[in-house]
Amino acid sequence: MTQSQYEVVIGLEVHVQLGTRTKIFCSCPLEFGSPPNTNVCPVCLGLPGALPVLNQAAVELALKASAALGCRINPDSRFARKNYFYPDLPKGYQISQYDEPLAEHGTVRIAGKSVGITRVHMEDDAGKSIHDGFRDSDQYSYVDLNRSGAPLIEIVSDPDMRASDEAYAYVTELKQILQFVEVSDCDMEKGQLRCDANVSIRLWGAGEFGTKVEIKNLNSFRFLKMALDFEIGRQVALVESGGEVVQETRLYNAGTGETVSMRSKEHAHDYRYFPEPDLVPLRVGSAWHDRVTASLPELPAARRARFIEVYGLKEYDAQVLTASRALSDYFERAATVSGDPKTTANWVMGDLAGLLKPAGREISESPISAENLGELVKLINSGQLSGKLAKEIFPRMFEAGGTPADIMDREGLRQISDSGALEKIVEEIISTNAKQVEQYRGGKVSVLGFLVGQVMKASRGQANPAAVNEILKNKLM
Amino acid sequence: MDIRTFTVDSIRTGLRKREFSAVELTTEALRFAETENPKTNAYLRLSSERALAQAARVDALSARGEDAGALAGVPVAVKDVIVTKGLVTTCGSKMLETYMPPYDATAVERIEAAGGIILGKTNCDEFAMGSSNENSAYGPVRNPVALDRVPGGSSGGSAAVVAQGTAVLSIGSDTGGSVRQPASFCGVVGVCPTYGRVSRYGLVAFASSLDHIGPFARNVSDAATLLRVMAGRDERDATSAAAPVPDYTALLDGNVRGMKLGVPREYMQGVTSETLSQIEKAVERFRALGCEVREISLPSTGYAIDVYYVIATAEASSNLARYDGVRYGMRAEVKGGSLIDMYRATRGQGFGAEVKRRIMLGTYVLSHGYYDAYYLKAQKVRAMIAQDFTRAFEQVDAILAPVSPFPAFKLGEKVDDPMQMYLSDIFTITGSLAGIPCMSVPCGVTREGLPVGLQIMCKHFDEAPMFRIAHAFEAARAF
Ligand SMILES: [Zn+2]
């Protein structure tokens, strides 16, 4: 038998750090890169006597995420304690939602299918253990609790994905949605999005799921796909050779591209969940629920569809331009100014992207505002600026900022459409090119191109070619 | 100056008449505590510096003619499970022998804001687990009334300092009776307010859903004053209540005529005859005051101890997980051992036997496969017990009961029999589980001179009538 005889079943658990200013149960700031153990207080240090108080802003963002993922928000949810010992877990338990999560039953659309969202629940993050980089790292590990108490949501998918590509598409779409609704920056390098995968295989048509393996330590979407591919291969080979998949947690090693066993089911933690007595149940009344739903912006899928429908963009272009809320907002503002969405799209995806990338800038940091880019397109379309000049002006706008008109004036690049000025140049060219004029008048119409070129050259490219054409034709009659 | 005779009122009068200053009073209180404490071991440490600085502040305010607060100049002792900034807080445990909290509990903050003088930290059962104060890593406390007997627990030190006169007021914590039972053993007033009435912020957790901070005093009015100072919503405790806090002392008018009081028949069983006769005398006294006293039933009472020891230990097993030797407190030295070895050694050496017993019990009842049978079922029965009280308070304004089935017992008498020890809380645990306000008020002594406490229980947030009843009773006894 071969791999194709097995159906792959994948479910994902994604942890996302909510973009609040402060932690979930205390008012310590969430700043990435602060010196270790500086953004801490009795609550997030788990000191004796300290108590958690739920951050309303975190609930708002969690609700927003739940609504954006099409979940049913539970009017009553509850926090529980998940008990385990670890040096970077200062309370000896994590405060998480267990049997009564914030939201359930959502969906994420990926190409060709829907992936169900089992649940979205809130929890606090642990600190960070640092095992190397210190002089005595061979003897000690260090703990940084700046991250302890960071607000997280865990988004658990249904086991609906059937290939690593689908898992990749799912997390990509998920990330895009969460960025769009401004729940999180989802910066994986800052640990704002973390992903665990559950994967099993079964023969096509089998009713029962196979034994699942959990894979942890997936630090990028690419690693997720690679880890899944390796693990699927491992499971198929195992079953093919008469073995059996055992329920366990495996770690992905990006260096070797392999997954290795971390702990078996027998050694799985007994987390001894019970309701968190320090917090009251979380009630989301219908007014709150409605307010959050109403505040949701247009989601990426809807925006893509609208860009195709209303602006006549190609599907690929719509996809690219909705990669982030900021980019799609930028495009839309520019297109509104220019009145020409397709050309605007080309400028945004081509020239602008080409300048941003080497400069290492995000669209939100673009020195060229959406309005100015739209203005540029408008100037081209109205004939006030040649395409060639526009290409010259654009990098200068990127360097110096300002409107295209400012740059044109500053650099003396304004197109000459004034017929008086153009006529003077045309007359000069006619008088200095008597031979070509004669040829034209004699019926060799193709000479006109040469004469236009001469006029353009004399005007240092600033003449409006269409106007030059017109004037020349008239004068030569 | 005899600290033993002082009350909140007499201190206020003395300060106003300039008979003494707050600094003079505090100096004398510290001296007296220093001298007397060896008899009882009730204080673990005095906070002289902090106390004198606060006294000086009070004097300065008074000198400017400003109101220094409801507790101005009053020496208050704090149980060592309530954190105090810059003042070692051990919880009666070796685990936290040198632990220095960087912040004050809300209750402590409010006491000082009201002009109270934090005199020192009192001995207690380790992490508030115990009924005799014999589970302290720093030695037992002796009952000032009879030095060969226990003061009760877990707030034994806080009860003893008030009885001994080495403090005028004190605060303790009550999870299953830890304020009321020692109050009754030492012959002072002890209050366990409604759950949520006093912020738990800074109270080192034993069983979060049952933990309360409550006052000790030598009379009802002083206890009421101290509770009012501490009570009220605190943004740092999500379970603290926003309910308005009445001026309890203004409502102490001695009039209880026509009030309906219930005596639950389940609480009159298994009680020593001397305790029973004191309670019966108290009932007669209330009748004489014009109260209508009737027998009632709280049928789920028999389950209370079992329910309590499931819920309280479950929560404790989680609350005490943070003492792992990693960040603060004791860390056992393990040469070449693993992380797990360090955890085991630290917790093995740092915790006493009773704490370990409860952590194990609590871990067990929360374990996979046992949760429903123990924890979940206990929560259901807890709701039944609360329901008993709700029904009872449809018929009566307050409930009268013994605090403990027996008076203070001898040191060492029950240490080897945890079940016997647990039984001393049988009448206090029900009120804790229901979260209602309860208090112990002295109601007489046995032939041997051992105090017996009367328990008064009211419905949620009804501390005002509870104090009124207790105060009327206290006045009638004195008369
Ligand atoms: Zn904090």
CA distance B263 to chain A (A): 31
**pLDDT given at position A407:** 77
Mutate to test the interface with B, among A96, A145, A278, A280 (most CBs of B within 10 A): A278
Check: CB of residue B131 under 8 Å from CB of residue B181: yes
Whole-number Cα distances in Å, A433 to A470, B124, B359, B380: 18, 112, 104, 105
Strands B75-79 and B169-174, sheet pairing: parallel
In chain A, residues with a C-beta closer than 8 Å to the C-beta of B208 are: 277-278
Structure tokens at B135: 């589970």
**Cα distance between residue B427 and residue B401, in whole Å:** 8
Q: Give the closest residue to B448 by CA, choosing from B105, B143, B238, B9.
A: B143
Find, among A173, A200, A15, A163, the residue nearest to A96 by Cα. A15
CATH of domain A419-476: 1.10.10.410
Per domain, the residue ranges of chain B are 1-479
Output the tens digit of pLDDT for each of chain A's 477 residues. Answer: 456 789 999 999 999 999 999 999 999 999 888 999 999 999 999 999 999 999 999 999 999 999 999 999 999 999 999 999 999 999 999 999 999 999 999 999 998 899 999 999 999 999 999 998 899 988 889 999 999 999 999 999 999 999 999 999 999 999 999 999 999 999 998 999 999 999 999 998 888 899 999 999 888 999 999 999 999 999 999 999 999 999 999 999 988 989 999 887 767 789 999 999 999 999 999 999 999 999 999 999 999 999 999 999 999 999 999 988 889 999 999 999 988 999 999 999 989 889 888 888 889 889 888 998 998 898 888 777 777 788 888 888 888 878 887 777 776 666 666 777 778 888 888 888 888 888 888 888 888 888 888 887 777 777 777 778 888 888 887
pLDDT, chain B, mean: 96
pLDDT one-digit tens code per residue, B199-244: 999 999 999 999 999 999 999 999 999 999 999 999 999 999 999 9
Domain boundaries, given as residue ranges, for chain A? 3-291, 298-411, 419-476
Q: Quote the pLDDT of residue B114.
A: 98
Identify which of B102, B327, B375 has the shortest CB distance to residue A274: B375
How far is Cα A78 from Cα B39, in angstroms, rounded to an integer? Answer: 49
Q: CA–CA separation, A318 vs A370, rounded Å?
A: 17
Say how far apart CA A24 and CA A148 lie, in whole Å.
Answer: 9
What is the pTM assigned to this prediction? 0.89
* The predicted structure's pLDDT at residue B224: 98
**Cα A146 to ligand 1 centroid, rounded to whole Å:** 8
Q: Do B101 and A51 touch (CB under 8 A)?
A: no
Distance CA B208, CA B175 (A): 9
What ipTM score was computed for the predicted complex, to two decimals?
0.95
Instruction: Please answer yes or no on whether B239 and A279 come within 8 Å at the CB atom.
Output: yes
Of B103, B368, B371, the CB nearest to A42: B103
Rounded average pLDDT over B55-62: 96
For the stretch B259-311, pLDDT in tens is: 999 999 999 989 999 999 999 999 999 999 999 999 999 999 999 999 999 99
Q: Which residues have beta carbons under 5 A from ligand 1 (an ion)?
A: A 26, 28, 41, 43-44
pLDDT at B348 over 80: yes
The chain A residue lying nearest B342, using CA atoms, is A87
Question: So what's the pLDDT on residue A417?
Answer: 67
**Residue A93 and residue B103: Cβ atoms within 8 Å?**
no
Residue of B nearest to A88 (CA): B326
Q: How far is the CA of A92 from the centre of ligand 1 (A)?
A: 16
Q: Quick check: B366 and A272 CB within 8 A? A: yes
Name the residue among A45, A51, A83 with its Cβ closest to that of B201.
A51
Active site residue B178: yes
| Cross-strand bridge partners of residue B262 | B294, B399
Please answer yes or no on whether A93 and B318 come within 8 Å at the CB atom: yes
Do A274 and B239 count as a contact with CB atoms less than 8 A apart? no
Residue B102 Cα to ligand 1 midpoint, Å, equals 13
Q: Ligand 1 centroid to B205 CA: how many Å?
A: 18
Whether residues B318 and A54 touch (CB distance < 8 A) is answered with no
SS3 state of residue A342: helix
B79 is catalytic: yes
pLDDT attached to residue A1 = 46
Query: Which of B419, B418, B439 is closest to B427 using CA atoms?
Result: B439
Least confident of A313-317, A472-476, B359-363, B449-453: A472-476
CATH topology of domain B1-479: Amidase signature (AS) enzymes (3.90.1300)
* DSSP structure string for A9-61: EEEEEEEEE---SB-SSS--B--TTPPTT-S--TTTTT-TT------HHHHHH
Of B21, B47, B62, B79, which residue is the catalytic one?
Answer: B79
A143: chain B residues, CB-CB within 8 Å: 326-327
